[in-house]
Structure 1
Amino acid sequence: MTNTTPSYTYRAYKPNGQVNVLGVWFDDVTLRDMHQAILTYSRTKTSQNLFIVTANPEIVYYAFKTPTYRSLIKQADYIIPDGTGIVKAARLLGTPLQERVPGIEVMERCLQIADQEEKRVFLLGATDKVVDKAVRNIQHQYPNSVVAGHHGFAKVDDMDVVSEIRTFNPDFIFVGMGYPKQELWIQRNMHHFEHTCMMGVGGSIDVFSGEVKRAPRIWRKMNLEWLYRSLKDVKRISRLQSIPKFVWAVIKQKFQRK
């Protein structure tokens, strides 16, 4: 990689502090805050990377039960509340967050910035067919950016994939391998890159490919996007088993504070 960006210190903008939900410290940010923070980072001359974690109740409960994963995501510059369950949990705990910040909408803001600033975007995730369609769709929608991708079935320590991405020299890397693998990939490999915004995006690459549709706006307004996705994909229903466990753990956290 030929990046020679000066190594100025960059500090993530955190205007409203953090909120603890089951040991995961969420940044109390809005979507607008994240847009401005990422734009500012993009324009800052620094060799530091920006690591963003988008966490829903399922991910938080996994982190709660898995200390190694919880320690890993603590290294992120931002942990944002991607799920209405997180917002409701924070309110129950008496430390409300301003709003839910969907990861796919943060990704959209990143793509807008990439288009505006003529940046390079790499997608790592999904199948060859799906990621190729996502690359074409994003390139068409954001023509001033440069987009490439690779399927998401590579091992975390596959240096051939890392070398391919390094050669592309991206400004943004979106990793859609599902948790915990996507965050582990970022944590293990981010030292190979400079001045790169990296974010785990779950199934968002499938959405940008057109293979999967987002919930209709009315479902999103009612904060039921998670239910819509589960009804559309029966494989996701089993994952809902963690929700009542998450709720019970939050209730116990509330009473332990008293």
Structure 2
Amino acid sequence: MVENKHNQKINVLSVYFDNVTLVDMRLNVKNYFEQQQQQSLFIVTANPEIVDYASNNKGYRDLINSADYVIADGTGVVKASRLLKTPLSERVPGIELMEECLKLAHTNKQRVFLLGSKDEVVSQARNNLSAKYPNITFAHHHGYIDLDDNNVLASIKDFDPDYVFVAMGYPKQEQWINKYGNQFKHTVLMGVGGSLEVFGGVKKRAPKLIRKLNLEWVYRVVIDWKRLGRTKSIPIFLYKVWKQMRSK
């Protein structure tokens, strides 16, 4: 998509992360719009669960690595990079990058499309965000769609967004962006996982102290036991990182 000359790539299980901070990414997005780029900008936010999945699925791994930016949305990824002696600067939570994008959109009076989650959740997220960022023009659609649903694509294109935030969960959200990203011009597209549930008031982020201690994933499991099964990917991820260390 966009020619990327920004920084070095860090290899964690053959997923190539950009060594950037949240401040860097805000500036990168700001510069993208100032340069009047016609190509869409594809941002992937990857945590250990996504990296583990990608390590077993070459098609998905290649898709992620084709993005303009791959950022470390997970403490485990940052710790893995340090174990591999190629340290990433910091964790860049996808929800915080989304918030930075919304601040830019508010300043620039831009258009934001929210795609994902249940209809009532994305609708409430839109209402909450509209109240917080009145200069943004929002539109939305739920995420329970088929990847080949061209009617939804047509409605998003008619809206002519500056940003499309896709909250369908991996791998579907990245597959949707990869499939349709070239249908948009001068648009930032980013997978944002469960962010709309937070903005819609269905779920809460961990308190700042817990986030600072890099224990947000523990907090998520404590408040939502359904996530417990998903944590099995963490020891598998760590084992694979250990094997990568040994191979080096």
Question: Taking structure 2 as the reference length, what is the TM-score of the superposition?
Answer: 0.98
1:254 is aligned to 2:224 = no
1:156 aligned residue (147, 152, 175): 147
Question: Which whole-Å CA distance do the structure 2 matches of 1:256 and 1:71 have between them?
Answer: 21
Per-residue Cα deviation, 1:98-138 (whole angstroms, up to 9, x for no partner): 10100000000000010011110000001110000001111
Question: Which whole-Å CA distance do the structure 1 matches of 2:225 and 2:47 have between them?
Answer: 19
Which residue number in structure 2 is paired with residue 5 of structure 1? none
1:81 is aligned to 2:88 = no
Q: What secondary structure is seen at the aligned counterpart in 1 of 2:16? A: strand
Which residue number in structure 1 is paired with residue 98 of structure 2? 107
Are the aligned partners of 1:12 and 1:37 in contact in 2 as well (CA < 8 Å)?
no
Q: What secondary structure is seen at the aligned counterpart in 1 of 2:42? A: strand
Letter of the aligned partner of 2:157 in structure 1? Answer: R
1:168 aligned residue (159, 183, 188): 159
2:4 aligned residue (8, 12, 19): 12
Letter of the aligned partner of 2:49 in structure 1? Answer: E
2:227 aligned residue (225, 233, 236): 236
Give percent identity, aligned residues only: 52
Root-mean-square deviation (Å): 1.0
Which residue number in structure 1 is paired with residue 53 of structure 2? 62
Which residue number in structure 1 is paired with residue 39 of structure 2? 48
Which residue number in structure 1 is paired with residue 124 of structure 2? 133
Q: What secondary structure is seen at the aligned counterpart in 1 of 2:106? A: helix
Question: Which whole-Å CA distance do the structure 2 matches of 1:80 and 1:154 have between them?
Answer: 26
Are the aligned partners of 1:131 and 1:149 in contact in 2 as well (CA < 8 Å)?
yes
Letter of the aligned partner of 2:121 in structure 1? Answer: V
- Note the C-alpha offset of 1:13: 5.0
Superposed, 1:19-38 pairs within 5 Å as: 19-38=10-29
Which residue number in structure 2 is paired with residue 199 of structure 1? 190
Are the aligned partners of 1:14 and 1:29 in contact in 2 as well (CA < 8 Å)?
no
Question: Which whole-Å CA distance do the structure 2 matches of 1:228 and 1:66 have between them?
Answer: 29
1:216 aligned residue (207, 224, 227): 207
Structure 2 regions of 5+ residues with no counterpart? none
Are the aligned partners of 2:206 and 2:219 in contact in 1 as well (CA < 8 Å)?
yes
Question: Which whole-Å CA distance do the structure 2 matches of 1:45 and 1:83 have between them?
Answer: 31
Q: What secondary structure is seen at the aligned counterpart in 2 of 1:38? A: helix
Question: Which whole-Å CA distance do the structure 2 matches of 1:14 and 1:212 have between them?
Answer: 34
Q: What secondary structure is seen at the aligned counterpart in 2 of 1:195? A: coil
Question: Which whole-Å CA distance do the structure 2 matches of 1:146 and 1:44 have between them?
Answer: 22
Question: Which whole-Å CA distance do the structure 2 matches of 1:37 and 1:21 have between them?
Answer: 22
Letter of the aligned partner of 2:230 in structure 1? Answer: R
Question: Which whole-Å CA distance do the structure 2 matches of 1:13 and 1:219 have between them?
Answer: 35
- Note the C-alpha offset of 1:232: 1.2
Which residue number in structure 2 is paired with residue 6 of structure 1? none
